[in-house]
Amino acid sequence: MDYATLLQVLDTTLRLATPLLLACLAGLYSERAGIFDIGLEGKMLMAAMSAGAVAYLTGSVWLGLLAAIVGSLLFAAVHGLASITFRGNQLISGVALNFVASGITVLIAQSLFGQGGRTPPLEGAARFNPIKLPLADELAGVPIIGPFYAEVVSGHTFLVYVGLLMVPLSWWVLYRTRFGLRLRAVGENPASVDTAGISVVRLRYTAVAITGILCGLAGAYMSTGLQAGFGKEMTAGRGYIALAALIFAKWRPWYCLWATLLFGFFQAIALRPDVIENTIGISIPVPALDALPYILTVVVLAGLVGKAIPPRAGGEPYVKER
């Protein structure tokens, strides 16, 4: 693989890893607070449809982004109500939301546009366009570093950079702020937090709301940045892959970045079968390459990459002692 091809693969890796990264960080906040959220897929799907539909109808990608966040927050509120207020089974709640999102997104899109559950293609101000970073053209001629900066670092849409910035921000919030300390404590021992006079319910709802916002960003990126419009089931299991990446990352922000980049790399390789053939001299069928991210997901969930210990109070509704 020559350097130019490597840069192309890395550029694609970053683009494909962005929705996984945002969804993975979304799950991080929720699960650190003790709320397992298998409904990341449904929130992303709802957000993608909302962003694509509103961006097309208004011609503004920013209104589409706002709609994506609102749509995802509505689903997050339902999950919070079911799992926190009514102390229901968190896994069942998440699965139910995924089923609802799968159907309602197609129904709404079909009702609005009549194109088989899709939105019309987005153009111009209705979608996020690539951003050229400062000095990208000037540094392009510098060996090694210049092309990497110009082709891999520069030239992405706004939400790609938001996703990358969310990694150090999440690390700082979780490990350097009082809020983060309390959030992690809720996921480990909610009774001790309650004893200290801090509302467990409020903290968990806050975590669920953050999850909704980040899933909204992930879904909006898919329909207005990565692609030009919403399509039926366009998330294609990315919510589940993000959960696998979260387990692989052992619920830590920086590890989430590397884990999602690894999954993104496998997805990028699947789009370039010629790279595999030229590198190892073996032609691998495209369907087999497409399955690589999902195979890695199964490997992670099977515990074959090392033991991952979730927050101790994860998945358990908190019942205040009287």
| Average pLDDT rounded to a whole number, residues 204-228 | 96
Most confident of 140-144, 251-255, 278-282, 307-311: 251-255
Alpha-carbon gap, residue 289 to 267, rounded angstroms: 8
Render pLDDT for 107-139 as a digit per residue (tens, 0 to 9). 999 999 999 889 999 999 999 999 999 988 888
| Average pLDDT rounded to a whole number, residues 180-197 | 92
Q: Does position 283 have pLDDT exceeding 80, yes or no?
A: no
Give CA angle at 45 (34, 121), nearest 5°: 155
Find the largest Cα–Cα distance for the chain: 69
Question: How does the average pLDDT of the chain come out, rounded?
Answer: 90
Burial 185-220 (b: 16+ CB within 10 A, else e): bbbeebeebbeeeeebeebbbbbbbbbbbbbbbbbb
User: What's the pLDDT band for 319 if we cut at 50, 70, 90?
Assistant: confident
The set of residues, in sequence order, having a beta carbon less than 8 Å from that of 278 and lying 6+ positions away, is 1
pLDDT for 280 = 67
Render pLDDT for 256-278 as a digit per residue (tens, 0 to 9). 999 999 989 988 888 877 777 66
| Average pLDDT rounded to a whole number, residues 21-46 | 95
Alpha-carbon gap, residue 24 to 242, rounded angstroms: 5
pLDDT for 248 = 87
Residue 53 φ then ψ, to 5°: -70, -50
- The answer to whether the beta carbons of residues 213 and 72 sit under 8 Å apart is yes
In terms of DSSP H, where are the helices of 145-237?
145-148, 158-176, 178-188, 190-195, 200-221
Q: Which two tokens stand for residue 43?
A: 């929130």
Q: Parse the chain into domains and list their residue ranges.
A: 3-239
Q: Does position 50 have pLDDT exceeding 80, yes or no?
A: yes
| Average pLDDT rounded to a whole number, residues 203-208 | 96
DSSP state of 70: H
